[in-house]
Amino acid sequence: MDREEVVSEFGRYLRLERDLSPHTVRAYLTDVNSLLDHTGGKVESLDIGVLREWLAGQHAAGKARATLARRTACARTFTAYCHRRGWLQADPGLLLGSAKSPRTLPSVLDQRQAEAVLAAPATAEPKELRDQALLELLYATGVRVSELCALDVDDVDRERNVIRVLGKGRKERTVPFGGPALRALDRWCIHGRPRWMRAGTGAALFLGVRGGRIDAGTVRRVVHARLEQVEGAPDMGPHGLRHSAATHLLEGGADLRSVQELLGHASLNTTQIYTHVSIERLRAAYRQAHPRA
């Protein structure tokens, strides 16, 4: 089987049957090409020894634990696919243990820092109006940066104060937001967005300076720039605002199942990380304030 054809077919499988995000597909194909480089391009050479040797080389090269975990998962997915297609007589991935990445608690803003990040600049320029609206919406809803970039104007329901989000696996959910986010969105849509619109702008809610749909890199730069202005704020990107929103909801009394639905987590186990964050923050406050801590 030709290597390029194998990789192309596997990519098609990941996109159409597994419904993985473009980012995950790119990462998996990079991993598969690395694995095939190790075998000299021969799919039929894949066995448990080759897989372990390849992963050991990745470890020796200093790859992060998270990267090793993903590459292990990729190898298992790839060999299972090749076995089903008849390109491998047996599936060596079944003998490969899972390299679990240690779960670390995410960095989050405290509520004072969140207020500082969202302090609106006194300007009516389109960039500042857009940046303020996207920051408010990220924190208010906890959406992923890819979900934010994909929003269209019609995805915002101003009557009910909700947005329609298409999340992982193309699963749609409805997420509420509050008054500050609505006011910021209105200012952007009335006074900012029209000034950046071009002939081919389309329905995108958030635009770049040339009138096209905003990209994830721009959103990350906006978040980093605002965080740099806040004393003591951790160095994090848009996902940090998602972590902060979830943590603050739980600290405010929201139940775990509601937060799971808001974030679009398939498993409640994923959401439970935020309960640990809240407990750690409570312990830190206790140690600092209690006379017998």
Give the CA angle between residues 179, 131, 138 to the nearest 5°. 55
Looking at the structure, tell me whether residues 28 and 168 fall in a common domain: no
Sign of CA dihedral 198, 200, 205, 211: negative
Instruction: Please determine, for residue 98, whether its predicted confidence score (pLDDT) is greater than 70.
Output: no
Looking at the structure, tell me whether residues 78 and 128 fall in a common domain: no
Does residue 101 form part of some domain? no
pLDDT in tens, 13-30: 998 888 777 888 999 999
Looking at the structure, tell me whether residues 18 and 80 fall in a common domain: yes
Looking at the structure, tell me whether residues 74 and 151 fall in a common domain: no
Q: What is the pLDDT of residue 179?
A: 92
Q: What is the pLDDT of residue 139?
A: 93
CATH of the domain at 215: 1.10.443.10
What is the pTM assigned to this prediction?
A: 0.63
**Percentage of the chain exceeding pLDDT 90:** 52
Does residue 281 form part of some domain? yes
Looking at the structure, tell me whether residues 209 and 274 fall in a common domain: yes
Does residue 102 form part of some domain? no
Looking at the structure, tell me whether residues 49 and 121 fall in a common domain: no
Does residue 105 form part of some domain? no
Strands (E), the chain: 156-157, 162-166, 172-176
Check residues 255 and 288 and name the one with the higher pLDDT. Answer: 255
DSSP element (H, E) containing 194: helix 193-196
Instruction: Please determine, for residue 105, whether its predicted confidence score (pLDDT) is greater than 70.
Output: no
CATH of the domain at 69: 1.10.150.130
Does residue 73 form part of some domain? yes
Q: Of 61, 95, 129, which residue sits at a domain end?
A: 95
Looking at the structure, tell me whether residues 125 and 267 fall in a common domain: yes
pLDDT in tens, 205-240: 999 999 999 998 899 999 999 998 898 888 788 888
Q: What is the mean pLDDT of residues 246-271?
A: 80
- 214 conformational bin, left if phi > 0, alpha if psi -120 to 50, beta if neither: beta
What span, in angstroms and rounded, lies between the C-alpha atoms of 228 and 159?
A: 35
What span, in angstroms and rounded, lies between the C-alpha atoms of 100 and 103?
A: 9
Does residue 195 form part of some domain? yes
Does residue 53 form part of some domain? yes
User: What's the total number of domains in the chain?
Assistant: 2
pLDDT in tens, 39-85: 999 999 999 999 999 999 998 988 888 888 889 999 999 999 999 99
Looking at the structure, tell me whether residues 168 and 280 fall in a common domain: yes
What is the 3-state composition of the chain as percent helix, strand, coil, each rounded to the nearest 5? 60, 5, 35
Looking at the structure, tell me whether residues 61 and 189 fall in a common domain: no
Looking at the structure, tell me whether residues 153 and 212 fall in a common domain: yes
Looking at the structure, tell me whether residues 220 and 173 fall in a common domain: yes
What span, in angstroms and rounded, lies between the C-alpha atoms of 46 and 197?
A: 52
Looking at the structure, tell me whether residues 146 and 79 fall in a common domain: no
Does residue 276 form part of some domain? yes
Q: What is the pLDDT of residue 199?
A: 87
Domain range for 50 is 3-95
Q: Which residues are catalytic?
A: 144, 168, 239, 242, 265, 274
Q: What is the pLDDT of residue 4?
A: 92
